[in-house]
Amino acid sequence: MTELNRDHSAGVGATRLAALRRHLASLNADPARTGSIVAILITQADNRRYLTGFTGSAGQVLVSATDAVIFTDFRYVEQASVQAPAFTVVQPEGSPWVAIARRASQHGVAHLAIESDDMTVDGHQRLVASMAEHAPGCAIVGESGLLVPLRQVKDASEVEKIRRAVLIGDRAIETVTAGLRPGMTEREIAWRLEVVMREAGATGLSFPTIVASGPNGAMPHHRPGNREIQVGDPIVIDMGCVVDGYCSDMTRTVVVGEPDATFWNVYRTVLSAQLVCEDGLRAGMTGKEADALARDTIGRAGFDPVVSFGHSTGHGVGMAIHEPPWLSSSERGSARIPVGAVVTVEPGIYLPGWGGVRIEDIVVVGEQRCQVLTTAHKQPVVVG
C-alpha cells in the first residue's frame, strides 16, 4: 500500500475539513440522535471534490476526528497529493473497501456514517463484508445530506466561480439570440450556444441545453429537436455552463417576429412573478415561502398556479446544477434558506398547444435582500 503524507494545514481542504468535523461534533451533541458518528465515508463525487479539492474521478474519503484520508488508485495518487494537501493519500493494493475497513480499525472507529443517498448496493455489500472481516466492532450507519449544511452556503471564491459561469452564459444568450432567424432548428440553436460558451472558457455544460419553440415550450424540459423556428414562436432557452467545477443556470424566452397577444400576457405575468420573488427573497424564510412569492403572483393574474406552473420556483446551484436549498411548495421546501445560498428564481407558465414562458436568474441570498448575478436582459426580446 502506497501512502503519501502532505501538510495537513494547507489549502481549502483544511478549512472545509475543520468545518465538517465541527458539524459532526454538533450532530453527535444532539440528544435526539441514538448513536454518535465517529467517522464519515464520502463517496459522492461532488462531495469529495468540495471537501478535499481533489478533482479526480475516482476515490473515497474517510474522515474522523484524528484522520483524513483519500483512497484512490494509481492514476490519481500524485494528483490527489497535490490538490488535497490536508489529506493523507492512500493507494490500496487491492480492494478499496478492505483498505477503508483496515484504516477504520486502526483508528478505533466504532460508528461509520456512509452516504446512503449515494452508495450503491454493490458498494455497500462490499463495505459491509470488509468491515465484518477487518473491523468487526464498527457499526455502519446510513446518513443522507451530511454535507448539505456546508455546501449550501457558498464562500466568496465559490460565488466568484459561479459568477464567471453566469457571465459566460449571459454573453452566449445575447450573441446567439441576436442571430435567430425563421427556419433555424432548435438543435442548431442549442449547438451555437454550446460553441459560444466553450469558446469563452466553459469546461462543459451544466445540463443539456433546452431550446423549446412554439408548442414545445409547454414542456419545461423539452430536448431540442429538428423543429424549425416559425415567425411568432415563443422560444424558451434554458442553459448553463461549468467554470472551475461550478455551474450556472439561466432561462430567457424570446420571439422571432411579432408575438401574439397571449405571449404578452403570459410574459408580463412570469416576469412580474420573478421580480416579486427576487425582491422578497431573503435568508431565514423557508423554501415554501419563497416559492409562494412567485406562485401567488401567477395565481392572482388568473393562471392556475399548479396546473400552469407545475415545477418549483428554484433550487440551489453550485458544484451540482440542482442542490439544496429548494424553493418549492413541496416538503423539501420546508427548510430555511441560509445566508450565502446561491439559488435560481425561475417561474414559468406552460399552456399545452401554445407554448410556454420561463425566466430564470441566479441570485445570492442575503439577510435583507438577494444579489442577482445574472445580467442578461429580461424585458421581452423580439428578434428577427
Taking 80 as the threshold, does the pLDDT of residue 372 lie above it?
yes
Which CATH class name applies to 156-383?
alpha beta
Span 2-151 CATH architecture: 3-Layer(aba) Sandwich (3.40)
- pLDDT at 40 (0 to 100): 95
Q: Who contacts 365 (Cβ-Cβ below 8 Å, separation ≥6)?
A: 281, 282, 283, 337, 338, 339, 340, 341, 342, 343
Confidence class for position 13, pLDDT limits 50, 70, 90: confident
- pLDDT at 329 (0 to 100): 97
- pLDDT at 214 (0 to 100): 97
**What pLDDT, in 10s, does the model give residues 117-157?**
999 999 999 999 999 999 998 999 998 899 999 999 999 99
Q: Which residue has the cell 421581452?
A: 380
Confidence class for position 7, pLDDT limits 50, 70, 90: very low
Question: Does an H or E element contain 105, and which?
Answer: helix 96-106
Nearest Cα residue to 146 out of 71, 291, 46: 46
HSE at residue 92, side-chain half, CA atoms within 13 A, is 18
**What pLDDT, in 10s, does the model give residues 198-230?**
999 999 999 999 999 999 999 999 999 999 999
Average pLDDT in the 355-383 region? 92
Domain ranges across the chain: 2-151, 156-383
**What pLDDT, in 10s, does the model give residues 250-287?**
999 999 988 999 999 999 999 999 999 999 999 999 99
Are 12 and 97 in contact, with CB atoms under 8 Å apart?
A: no
Longest dimension (CA), the chain: 72
User: 261-280 vs 287-300: helix axis angle to the nearest 10?
Assistant: 150
Q: Hey, do 2-151 and 156-383 end up sharing a CATH topology, with the first three levels equal?
A: no
